[in-house]
Structure 1
Amino acid sequence: MILQDTIIALASPSGAGAIAVIRISGTDAITLCDPFFSSVKKNKQLAQQKSHTIHLGHIVDGKRVIDQVLVSIFKGPNSYTGENVVEISCHGSTYIQQEIIQLFLRNGCRMAEAGEFTLRAFINGKLDLSQAEAVADLISSDNEASHQIAMQQMRGGFSNEIQHLRDELLNFASLIELELDFAEEDVEFADRSQFEALVDRIQTVLKRLIDSFAVGNVIKNGIPVAIVGAPNVGKSTLLNALLNEERAIVSDIAGTTRDTIEDELVIQGIGFRFIDTAGIRETEDVVESIGIKKTFEKIGQAQVVIYLFDASHFEENSQLITVEIEKIKNQFPQKPLVIIANKIDKSNTEKIQTELSYEHLLLLSAKENIGVEDLKDKLLQFVNTGALRNNETIVTNSRHYDSLLKALEEIEKVQLGLNDGLSGDLLAIDIRQALYYFGEITGEVTTDDLLGNIFANFCIGK
């Protein structure tokens, strides 16, 4: 990949629309555009205009007018990429988009690769690596919570916290390295008590960030919720009630759902991915048996399990219901289990409440939409949104999580070395490794392969 030439790409979604935005970046971006831009005000030269200005005119190819456009100019280093940037807002015809792009490809531009604009922003110091990755998360965010986390990281909340720790640790590392130069004189430049306090503080912060990944990962990817129970107890009806649409087929025939059905719902800014599963029962139907096997696989993958039973037939099935609940609880003891008595509009609920003394028991009628909002509130209780409300840093990136774990491991080695009274040269080895893993997060330590893997997942034009 050449990072000194001029690149072009469609920055808005592909396809026809009201308008489209074509982005050009590079040292020669503005001068390349000049010959093909005819302003409403005659003889206006783009290169002579101020940065962050917009100009009305036409994109022309010789005497042929391609489209009337607005051209925005951003002069480096005060641009997204740190280079000269031109953004052409044209009409959204796919023909017009391609004509403009092809015109500039014939005259000095190269088609941008995936994520190349953001890669240039990183290389030119406009973003660190964690902020650059947050750009992709922001684009893909589909609910309030994931948007909030991505915005905080893109604005530097996470990288600032890591950078502050790294700077403090680097300062002590420098003093310890200095001690090595005066080893024969037996002097200490680094105050060991202050260093121990710093190591304790770094461990606390790292553990908090590592713990936050459990919340961040499910918020970013959606919280999977498996809806399980015997056939014909209303699992598909409940899914339809939650989504407020006829997503799953509903009938009185037991075993109608033979495969898992998934759909997403955002509840108060948090994404939940509901999985309607095949009914659990003994069956000789080969296809239905496969569906039941998949049900238990989905329970294993879910963060929360909803067990549904038919309240109108509770008396004759109470023993079987209890056995099934205990089986799920024993097989998946770490997963929150919500037990729902469905069809309460057709039953007496007093006996159910007396015999089932489970913590997360709800009475509900999916068909009549009774208690559905209570279920949504219950699901939100299983998500630790305190960090979101307090605007704390939440880790959502598995690469960051891995580097934090490795950094913590090295810091714990430093702590052990301090407790054992190890010499400065041995402490310095572990400190350097911890600094290395901090640098991996922000991009101060990087490789071409790492950058390639990260930016290959971006969309072209960003």
Structure 2
Amino acid sequence: MISKDTIVALATPSGAGAIAVIRLSGEQAIALADQSFKSVKKQKTLAKQKTHTIHLGHIMDGDKTIDEVLVSIFKNPNSYTGEDVVEISCHGSNYIQQEIIQLFLRKGCRMASAGEFTLRAFLNGKLDLSQAEAVADLISSDNEASHQIAMQQMRGGFSSEISKLREELLNFASLIELELDFAEEDVEFADRGQFKELTDRITFVLKRLIDSFAVGNVIKNGIPVAIVGEPNVGKSTLLNALLNEERAIVSEIAGTTRDTIEDEISIGGIGFRFIDTAGIRETKDVVESIGIKKTFEKIEQAQVVVFLADSTNFKEEAFITSFKIEIEKIKNKYPLKPLLVVANKVDKLDDNLIAKVQLEIPQIHLLSAKQGVGVDALKDKLLSFVNTGALRNNDTIVTNTRHYDSLLKALEEVDKVKFGLETGLSGDLLAIDIRQALYYFGEITGEITNDDLLGNIFANFCIGK
């Protein structure tokens, strides 16, 4: 699958900017750059220059000067792709970018497809598959936690853990296979006691990695938080306070928010996507009814529900009773979703009423979204729902659905091996389950792969990476 042609693409975001970087990779990358590069001070042949050097000059199209540029040279195998790589830093004009790219296309380069530079890095052994996938995660990371996980994975933290388990299992698999060659002599090369210890250790690690996906997935994709409640309790005001900007329209008129409004912020390095929903009430307004229907849809999609009330209503005993009933209804309907009960407009309450509310509803969080009182404490409470201990301890966290699926399948096969050891299963049948476990380990790091899998993974990359 390794292509020997030379590819070119814009490596920086498209559009005008101060500078742009155009990348070439392949056997002819340096030779083709040489044909169009003219050094400023003295005539240079790029092919004769040392690797990892930068050269000032002009990109020429015949006698026409396109731009003054810096050309960086990376010779194989010490480059990102493992091939000869040239990076041209030019001025960020769209016109200049296209002129240089079109020039190299005319000289025989091919436009790189999505992720093709990283694909070549994988195929040339510069990265394993999980590290290559981490490159895309790093590019798309938009908070500290997702960036930290992607960096750890790109450095090989996850793949080294998997590779170590696979190597140990492979060693025992070899001994089991050797026993099959000497079946008539009835000898045992693989110590069954040590093998049992190994499968127990592999099971422990696999379960830890599988359990980490629950945390890793929300860190990578952000935690959706639905803000729900009756009309005019301050949901939009709370959203604005959390985001620290006027994102939602605020009005004293009940039913102002008729559609869901979403925005995302980072709290403690974790992304939270807040969803301001239409107020829940009985209404004959067709448009408002559609908004209320969407509210319940968003609650289904959310991982955390913030149930907001107007604290001034707590002056009425009947409201406190009905509010407690509503809390129980939400808990019963969404038992697996963390529920934050919040009373807004606390600045309008006296101390006696605050004490009464806290006594009646101990789990309630009091705040004033308009005054900004209690908003930071609410953020801390939201953050407490995410177990970030693994991040602080620098443990491996799984964020990739493909890895999660392969880990589950590998665990299933290892459990079969353990059962076979406990029941005295013959070596040939043990070997089948071991091979399957090794197969799923290999899928993660790319020791076992196919063109369809690679196509699906690298299709999600940006052009130029």
How high is the TM-score relative to the length of structure 2?
0.98
1:182-229 deviations in Å (ceiling 9; x for gaps): 011110000100000000000000000000000000000001111011
Whether the 8 Å contact between 2:2 and 2:123 is mirrored in structure 1 is no
Any unmatched runs of 5+ in structure 2? none
1:319 correspondence with 2:335: no
Counterpart of 1:453?
456
User: 1:155-184, CA deviations, whole angstroms, 9 ceiling, x for partnerless residues?
Assistant: 000000000000000000000000000011
Distance 1:100 1:62 in 2: 12
Deviation per residue, 1:106-140 (Å, 9 max, x gap): 00100000000000000000000000000000000
User: 1:20-419, aligned counterparts within 5 Å?
Assistant: 20-316=20-316, 317-347=319-349, 348-358=353-363, 361-419=364-422
State the number of aligned residues.
460
CA distance, structure 2, for counterparts of residue 43 and residue 379 of structure 1: 62
Report SS of the residue matched to 2:131: helix
The one-letter code matched in structure 2 to 1:440 is: E
1:311, CA displacement in angstroms?
0.5
d(CA) in 1 for partners of 2:38, 2:76: 23
Cα distance in 2 for residues equivalent to 1:353 and 1:455: 53
Q: Which residue of 2 aligns with 1:421?
A: 424
Could you tell me how far apart the structure 1 residues matched to 2:314 and 2:292 are? 22
Cα deviation for residue 299 of structure 1 reads: 1.2
Amino acid aligned to 1:216 = G
- Find the residue that maps to 1:408 and give its secondary structure: helix
Q: CA deviation at 1:2?
A: 6.6
Q: Which runs of 4+ in 1 moved over 3 A?
A: none
Could you tell me whether the CA contact under 8 Å between 2:2 and 2:120 is conserved in 1? no
Q: Distance in 1 between matches of 2:53 and 2:362?
A: 67
The code of the aligned residue for 1:329 comes to K
Give the drift of 1:289: 1.6
Q: Which whole-Å CA distance do the structure 1 matches of 2:427 and 2:293 have between them?
A: 58
Displacement of 1:42: 2.1
Which shows bigger deviation, 278-287 or 106-115? 278-287
CA apart distance, 1:256: 0.9
2:226 alignment partner, SS class: strand
Distance 2:395 2:82 in 1: 29
Kindly provide the CA deviation profile for residues 59-88 of structure 1, in whole angstroms up to 9, marking residues without a partner as x.
001111110000000000000000000000
Is 124-133 or 285-294 further displaced after alignment? 285-294
Aligned mates of 1:421, 1:294 — CA distance in 2: 57
Q: Distance in 1 between matches of 2:461 and 2:415?
A: 35
Amino acid at match of 2:293: K
SS at match of 2:432: helix
Cα contact 2:7–2:24 (8 A) shared by 1? yes
- Alignment partners' CA distance in 1, 2:255 and 2:323: 18
Deviations 1:345-389 (A, max 9, x none): 11231221121133xx21100011000000011011000000000
Q: CA deviation at 1:283?
A: 1.4
2:114 aligned counterpart, secondary structure: coil
Code of the residue aligned with 1:381 in structure 2: it is S
- Please state whether the residue corresponding to 1:460 is helix, strand or coil: coil
* CA-to-aligned-CA distance 1:385-443 (integer Å, 9 cap, x gap): 00000110000000000000000000000011111110111100000000000000001
Please state whether the residue corresponding to 2:306 is helix, strand or coil: strand
Matched letter for residue 99 of structure 2: E
Counterparts of 2:381 and 2:397 in 1: how far apart (Å)?
Answer: 23
RMSD: 0.9
Q: How far did 1:258 drift? A: 1.0
Whether the 8 Å contact between 2:235 and 2:276 is mirrored in structure 1 is yes
Q: Structure 1 CA distance, aligned partners of 2:294 and 2:219?
A: 24
5+ unaligned residues in a row in structure 1: which ranges?
none
CA distance in 2, matches of 1:5, 1:205: 42
3-state DSSP class of the match of 2:402? helix
- 2:387 aligned partner, one-letter code: N
Offset from partner CA, 1:216-256 (integer Å, 9 cap, x none): 00000001111011111000000000001110111011111
SS at match of 2:258: coil
